[in-house]
Amino acid sequence: MSIKSIAAKVFAKYIHNKTQKWINNPIETQQKVLEDLIRQAQNTQFGKDHNFSEIKSFLDFAIQVPIRDYEELKPYVDKVVKGEENILWKGKPLYFAKTSGTTSGAKYIPLTKESMPFHIEAARNAILNYIHETGKADFVDGKMIFLQGSPILEEKNGIKLGRLSGIVAHFVPKYLQKNRMPSWQTNCIDDWETKVDAIVEETINQDMAVISGIPSWVQMYFEKLQQKGAKPVGEIFKNFNLFIYGGVNYEPYRAKFENLIGRKVASIELFPASEGFFAYQDSQKEKGMLLLLNSGIFYEFVKSDEFFLDNPKRYTIGEVELNVNYVLIISTNAGLWAYNIGDTVQFTSLKPYRVIVSGRIKHYISAFGEHVIGKEVEHALQEAMQNTDVRVNEFTVAPQIAPQSGLPYHEWFIEFENQPNNLEQFALQIDTAMRKQNAYYDDLIVGKVLQTLVITRVSKNGFQEYMKSIGKLGGQNKLPRLSNDRKIADQLLS
């Protein structure tokens, strides 16, 4: 065992003990976070506009600060982007994480000197937690790769901006720099396909021990590696034993990954976003990710089936229940206040508080009142694939409201790696799994409002071509699992 791995174990134990303090006092921890946020921002424009000086409790906060999304917070953000100080948070942000918007074009998410360290610490602590739990630390001596956006940053009114993953690249600790890949030059390549080809060239003869990224894009890297090396990734990288991922559920990709790697590899799930680093997988045995309650973020939760009511109830951490679908609302030390990030979560444990990401509040199907969410379609596909050699590269689901004949249905667009022998039987298995999970969907099938779902096969690399056509190939971009319209479906068909 190397000195580096011994030191990692010692540090891991220290961080574990430190984490237990707030895990064992969740409600008090969150109350203190809210008080600190309000105190530090009470002299900002937002704080004055919302009477922060008079807020004494969460109830006061909920009365003074309505839930907002980016479009509703944009008048404040625009002032920050122009270079004005003390608007949402004291002073100016260090960075803007630039993301794709919906109705307002590019979104500029502020990152402050108070918020930035938590992004770095959370990723570090996820790895240290794994070391403490498993006792495995040898991988710290091998090479590590993080598939991410370009670290080249622009500047706007004295504030640097770029993709979150590119910004984070500037904060990699010195003790990891020697082991980290790809090179800075390769990381700066903007075109994703060119970048992946360059990463393959740089890494194929290296001792890669840890690989991290969004599963759909790591899959592209693995396929190119296997093609060039003419053998499974696990034989190319004999010491590759840890996969770190976030952004999408890994389960639909797991069978394909194990086939590409040639063996099972341990994994750590993360829940990062430009708005904050919310959770990481703290157990290899328990389901869900540990919600980070002491990271400068105050959490609220609104039941997703009540979210679009005029005045939905806002729950704090001490009021949440298991297996309820909640819209995640955050207030942060980057100056986001009662902010709807668009993700929905479910709690899998209340001691400690662990969550899974169940979908997006805007990504659902309810064309007929069925309220289908991302977690349900992912689980249904996974169940249908069990005990088969069927492997799926990518998929998305949309409603077909007006078919040429017969009843309406849900149309599943699937890119298979290994196709089922009987496509209709496979569709029926998915449909059965859907009906077990979602009573509304089951009622619509029984009542002959909907027919059994239909699978439309997507050609090899079809989803990559779609993402490329809309300028979202690679990086942090993700394909929606669900759409309540046929915008994606129609482009895939065309």
Lowest-pLDDT range, 47-51, 184-188, 296-300, 450-454? 184-188
Is the CATH number 1.10.3470 carried by domain 374-493? no
Structure-block tokens of residue 312: 């939905």
Q: How far apart are CA 432 and CA 434, in angstroms?
A: 5
Mean pLDDT, range 356-364, rounded to an integer: 81
Instruction: Encode pLDDT of 59-82 as tens digits.
Output: 999 999 999 999 999 999 999 999
Structure-block tokens of residue 222: 């693995």
Question: Over 70: is that where the pLDDT of 254 sits?
Answer: yes
Per-residue model confidence (pLDDT) at position 103: 41
Question: Over 70: is that where the pLDDT of 338 sits?
Answer: yes
Which CATH code is given to the segment(s) 1-213+268-358?
A: 3.40.50
Per-residue model confidence (pLDDT) at position 151: 87
Adjacency order of strands within the sheet including 154-156? 106-111, 95-100, 159-162, 154-156
pLDDT band at 57 (very low <50, low <70, confident <90, very high): very high
SS3 assignment, position 217: helix
Highest mean pLDDT among 24-38, 94-108, 132-146, 298-312: 24-38
Mean pLDDT, range 429-433, rounded to an integer: 95
Helical residues (DSSP H) of 204-353, grouped into ranges? 215-229, 233-236, 251-261
pLDDT band at 107 (very low <50, low <70, confident <90, very high): confident
Report which of residues 106 and 4 the model is more confident about: 4
Q: Are 449 and 475 in contact (CB under 8 A)?
A: no
Cα-based distances in Å from 386 to 180, 283, 378, 416, 452: 36, 23, 13, 15, 20
Question: Over 70: is that where the pLDDT of 256 sits?
Answer: yes
Q: How far apart are CA 216 and CA 150, in angstroms?
A: 18
Q: How far apart are CA 98 and CA 186, in angstroms?
A: 21
Question: Over 80: is that where the pLDDT of 105 sits?
Answer: no
The residue behind tokens 């389960």 is 251
Mean pLDDT, range 411-415, rounded to an integer: 96
Report which of residues 359 and 121 the model is more confident about: 121
- Written as one string, the DSSP assignment of 80-120 is HHTT-SSSSSSS--SEEEEEE-SSSSEEEEEE-TTTHHHHH
> Which of 88, 195, 212, 116 has the alpha carbon at shortest distance from 152?
195
Instruction: Encode pLDDT of 374-396 as tens digits.
Output: 888 999 999 999 988 899 999 99
Per-residue model confidence (pLDDT) at position 176: 67
Mean pLDDT, range 470-490, rounded to an integer: 82
pLDDT band at 231 (very low <50, low <70, confident <90, very high): very high
Structure-block tokens of residue 237: 């990288």
Mean pLDDT, range 189-198, rounded to an integer: 87
Q: Are 298 and 334 in contact (CB under 8 A)?
A: no
Highest mean pLDDT among 157-171, 269-283, 348-362: 269-283
pLDDT band at 104 (very low <50, low <70, confident <90, very high): very low
3 state SS for 267-299: EEEEEEECCEEEEECCCCCCCCEEECCCCCEEE
Question: Over 70: is that where the pLDDT of 232 sits?
Answer: yes
Q: 10 Å Cβ neighbour count for 302?
A: 22
Lowest-pLDDT range, 107-121, 157-171, 455-469? 157-171
Peptide bond into 352 cis (omega under 30): yes
Q: How far apart are CA 223 and CA 263, in angstroms?
A: 15
pTM, to two decimals: 0.82
Q: How far apart are CA 332 and CA 336, in angstroms?
A: 5
SS3 assignment, position 32: helix
Q: Are 488 and 458 in contact (CB under 8 A)?
A: no
Q: Are 475 and 434 in contact (CB under 8 A)?
A: no
- Residue 375 carries which DSSP code? H
Rg (CA), the chain: 23
Instruction: Encode pLDDT of 21-49 as tens digits.
Output: 999 999 999 999 999 999 999 999 999 99
- Residue 372 carries which DSSP code? B
> Which of 299, 357, 341 has the alpha carbon at shortest distance from 97?
341
> Which of 383, 353, 334 has the alpha carbon at shortest distance from 44?
334
Q: How far apart are CA 235 and CA 226, in angstroms?
A: 10
One fold for 1-213+268-358 and 374-493 = no
Question: Over 50: is that where the pLDDT of 102 sits?
Answer: no
Domain chopping of the chain, boundaries:
1-213+268-358, 374-493
Lowest-pLDDT range, 118-127, 180-189, 312-321, 473-482? 473-482
Instruction: Encode pLDDT of 275-328 as tens digits.
Output: 999 999 999 999 999 999 999 999 999 998 888 888 999 999 999 999 999 999
Question: Over 70: is that where the pLDDT of 419 sits?
Answer: yes
SS3 assignment, position 473: coil
Phi, psi of 477 (to 5 degrees): -75, 140
Mean pLDDT (the chain) is 91
Question: Over 80: is that where the pLDDT of 406 sits?
Answer: yes
